[in-house]
């Protein structure tokens, strides 16, 4: 039985501070572990977490699978960009390692397949391929990925940007692949979650819309009268 069986039909919550906000008060392993424990109590079937410190803290706080990654400020490839990062994430306690599987060059000069082999040889973790296109998903499975996620759709030159989730990509991957397809990227409402499952998603990941007070508050403040007045003053 695969860890991915525990995710089937459920909601995965990503517990991460905003990557471009180094002063986000949520940037603390203890805080993220408490957030993770809260979402699991609410029904999350797994948690997605960034960085070895957060992964270790969250793994100790919850009894559901942890999808781990390492966001690194490398141009292009950003999510677990090297084989060494992938192994570190697994050794920190992640049951599943999320790895950028786009066709962009990796900073260590290795391929996605090389990274999968490194994880297999040194750990018991499974590998989740974060992709932006259907072709990347097919290639990732060929190279050993245990599952594929739509995380990077809209964030690469090969995929058009959009405000909402890429449900078309979910449907295409679900029709093409023999492995679980995880719907991730800009999911913000129950209706979008329903549509992802209708498109064939194995599970759905939601992040900022649940776990980032900074992101949520900014979106709400943008709709206030004060924000409208400030915008008008700047235009004057």
Quick check: 227 pLDDT over 90?
A: no
Band (pLDDT 50/70/90 cuts) for residue 233 is low
178-216 pLDDT per residue, tens: 999 999 999 999 999 999 999 999 999 999 999 999 999
pLDDT digits (tens, 9 = 90+) for 143-179: 999 999 999 999 999 998 888 999 999 999 999 999 9
Structure tokens at 116: 């999968």
pLDDT at 213 (0 to 100): 95
Evaluate whether 97 touches 90 at the Cβ level (below 8 Å).
Answer: yes
pTM of the predicted structure, to 2 decimals = 0.94
The encoded tokens of residue 205 equal: 């990941």
Q: What is the pLDDT of residue 31?
A: 97
Closest CA to 94 of 59, 135, 128: 59
Q: Provide φ and ψ at 42, rounded to 5°.
A: -80, -10
pLDDT digits (tens, 9 = 90+) for 49-61: 999 999 999 999 9
What is the domain partition of the chain in residue ranges?
Answer: 3-235
Superfamily of domain 3-235: Aldolase class I (3.20.20.70)
Q: Are 18 and 42 in contact (CB under 8 A)?
A: no
For residue 47, what are the contacts with CB-CB under 8 A and spacing of at least 6? 12, 13, 14, 15, 36, 39, 40, 58, 62, 64, 65, 66, 67
């Amino acid at each position: 039985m695969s860890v991915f069986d525990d995710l089937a039909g459920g909601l995965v919550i990503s517990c991460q501070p905003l990557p471009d906000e180094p002063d986000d008060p949520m940037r603390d392993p203890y805080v993220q572990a408490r957030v993770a424990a809260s979402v699991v109590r609410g029904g999350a079937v797994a948690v997605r977490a960034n960085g070895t410190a957060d992964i270790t803290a969250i793994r100790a706080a919850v009894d559901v699978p942890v999808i781990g990654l390492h966001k690194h400020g490398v141009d292009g490839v950003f999510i677990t960009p090297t084989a060494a990062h992938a192994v570190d994430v697994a050794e920190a306690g992640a049951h599943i390692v999320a790895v950028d599987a786009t066709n962009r060059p990796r900073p260590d000069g290795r391929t996605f397949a090389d990274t999968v082999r490194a994880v297999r040889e040194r750990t018991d973790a499974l590998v989740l391929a974060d992709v932006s296109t259907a072709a990347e998903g097919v290639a990732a499975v060929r190279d050993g990925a245990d599952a594929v996620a739509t995380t990077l759709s809209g964030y690469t030159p090969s995929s058009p940007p959009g405000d909402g989730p890429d449900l078309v990509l979910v449907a295409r991957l679900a029709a093409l692949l023999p492995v679980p397809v995880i719907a991730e990227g800009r999911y913000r409402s129950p209706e979008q979650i329903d549509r992802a499952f209708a498109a064939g998603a194995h599970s759905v990941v939601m992040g900022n819309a649940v776990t980032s007070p900074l992101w949520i508050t900014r979106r709400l403040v943008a709709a206030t009268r004060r924000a409208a007045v400030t915008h008008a003053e700047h235009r004057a």
